[in-house]
Chains A and B, each alone.
Chain A
Amino acid sequence: MLIEVNMTVNGRAVSGKVEARALLVDFIRDHLRLTGTHVGCDTTQCGCCTVHVDGKAVKSCTMLAVQAKGKNVVTIEGLASADGTLHPVQEAFREHHGLQCGFCTPGMVMMGVDICRRHPNADEKTVRHELEGNICRCTGYQGIVEAIMDASAKMAGGRA
């Protein structure tokens, strides 16, 4: 039996029919063909699938698509401005070499945005702790941590 779901994804109203067991990440990747969100594990550890649901970072591999009914979902594809201007966190990842192979990157960036929102002017210790649920095998986290600290400072400055 298929269930009708409606939600907003990257500012666009979308709908589709899914099985109850379909995960949010399946809906995003297979139904909407937004393949920037990745799947890197099956135990909710790696964070490659991180998206925002109603403004909060969640692991889309551990949420059913039907649970996102009526919610506002943002994926990596929806982060930059319509004119292509990168989000400050994306820009900081580029500036600080926060990515290598790029596979964990969408999840890292989405988590990075969440961290910046919750921790203006985040220090190194905070950022490292907050990245507990996102695994990167390439960068040693150095560029990622630097990028999030930088973006957090810039975003806080922008708000002030």
Chain B
Amino acid sequence: MENFGYHAPTKIADAAQLAEANEDAKLMAGGMTLLPTLKQRLAAPSDLIDLAGIADLRGVCRDGDEIVIGAMTTHAEVHESAVLREAIAGLASLAGQIGDPAVRHRGTIGGSIANADPAADYPAGVLGHGATIVTNKRKIAADDFFLGLFETALEPGEIITGVRFPIPVWSTYQKLRHPASGYAVVGVCIVQTKTGVRVAVTGAGPSAFRMAAMEEALTKDFSVKSIEGIAVAADDLNNDIHASAAYRAHVVSVLAKRAVASR
């Protein structure tokens, strides 16, 4: 790995200033993807801005009908949060399915969604719950956030400060683990809200996406039967040595049904 300048700001404003001043700088959250990338010499930023020292970015709390998770809250903290377990158990469960315990002790929600790995778990959770991504500049609806493969609505230097999850009636996340990496071959998040059902899928496409047909059917009738006939098109899905597009399409359907059945 190439050397870099290291910065550990303690305030969001300072981090933003550093990021804006240097376009070759990289923001680092938990570093679970960034550091291996640097180690393999696949990237060589001039500077790293480590967000770990910013206390304001950490923590899980309830704010009215929403749960607010600070961007630098680790997967383990999210998974173990009593507040979250009480309010959105499905999301706490999702966090516990990411990576492995050591990764969960370092990896963060902000880092995960900013990276927008097509096989990461959080994007399905964020999209499924209709969360709002809060940055140092604005609020972005989850539906507008994930734009494509490793591509988000974030502007250069923009820092995610937290994610606001509306508390749903019920939610769950079901995942088929990749046998080697532990990422999602397919992950399906189903969320029941007072106004309807949201279904978000990760792992299957270039980025997380929603399944409109399933949402509609489940909103009308929340039952396995209602989505049994819904075919998932394999056309645009990922196809690799671990899982064909046809298999992924099938797994989306199987996991969705199991998710519904688990209610």
Task: State yes or no: do A and B touch (Cβ within 8 Å).
Answer: yes
Give min CB distance, A45 to chain B, whole Å.
7
Chain A residues contacting B6 (CB-CB under 8 Å) are 3, 20, 64, 66
What is the predominant secondary structure among interface residues of chain A facing chain B? mixed
For B52, give its contact among A47, A57, A62, A67 (CB under 8 Å): A67
Give min CB distance, A140 to chain B, whole Å.
17
Supposing A63-B31, A67-B52 touch, asked if A45 and B102 sit within 8 A by C-beta, the answer is no
Give min CB distance, B64 to chain A, whole Å.
31
In contact, B35 and A62 (Cβ under 8 angstroms): yes
Report the Cα distance A18→B180, complex, angstroms.
Answer: 33
Report the Cα distance A21→B38, complex, angstroms.
Answer: 9
Give min CB distance, A39 to chain B, whole Å.
10
Supposing A19-B3, A21-B1, A21-B2 touch, asked if A47 and B102 sit within 8 A by C-beta, the answer is yes
Report the Cα distance A59→B102, complex, angstroms.
Answer: 6
Give min CB distance, A123 to chain B, whole Å.
16
Query: What 1/0 flags go to B29-58 for Cβ under 8 Å of A?
Result: 001100110111000000010101000000
In contact, A62 and B4 (Cβ under 8 angstroms): no
Chain B residues contacting A44 (CB-CB under 8 Å) are 32, 35-36, 103
Given contacts A44-B32, A59-B102, A133-B101, 18 further A-B contacts (CB under 8 A): A20-B6, A21-B4, A43-B36, A47-B100, A57-B102, A58-B106, A62-B35, A62-B103, A63-B106, A64-B50, A66-B8, A66-B50, A67-B50, A111-B102, A114-B101, A114-B102, A115-B101, A132-B100
Q: Is A75 an interface residue (CB 8 A)?
A: no
In contact, A133 and B100 (Cβ under 8 angstroms): yes
Q: Is A152 an interface residue (CB 8 A)?
A: no
Report the Cα distance A134→B99, complex, angstroms.
Answer: 11
Q: Interface size bucket, A side?
A: 20 to 34
Q: Is B105 an interface residue (CB 8 A)?
A: yes
Give min CB distance, A38 to chain B, whole Å.
14
Report the Cα distance A32→B201, complex, angstroms.
Answer: 46
In contact, A63 and B35 (Cβ under 8 angstroms): yes
Report the Cα distance A57→B105, complex, angstroms.
Answer: 7
Residues of B near any A CB (own CB < 8 A)? 1-6, 8, 31-32, 35-36, 38-40, 48, 50, 52, 76, 99-103, 105-106, 180-182
Residues of A near any B CB (own CB < 8 A)? 1, 3, 19-21, 23, 42-45, 47, 50, 53, 56-59, 61-64, 66-67, 111, 114-115, 118, 130-134
Give min CB distance, B242 to chain A, whole Å.
15
Chain B residues contacting A114 (CB-CB under 8 Å) are 101-102
Report the Cα distance A42→B8, complex, angstroms.
Answer: 25
Report the Cα distance A11→B102, complex, angstroms.
Answer: 21
Chain B residues contacting A118 (CB-CB under 8 Å) are 101
Give min CB distance, A86 to chain B, whole Å.
22
Give min CB distance, B57 to chain A, whole Å.
15
In contact, B3 and A42 (Cβ under 8 angstroms): no
The 10 closest A-B pairs by CB, nearest first: A133-B100, A20-B6, A132-B100, A56-B105, A21-B3, A59-B102, A62-B35, A57-B102, A21-B1, A58-B105
In contact, B76 and A56 (Cβ under 8 angstroms): yes
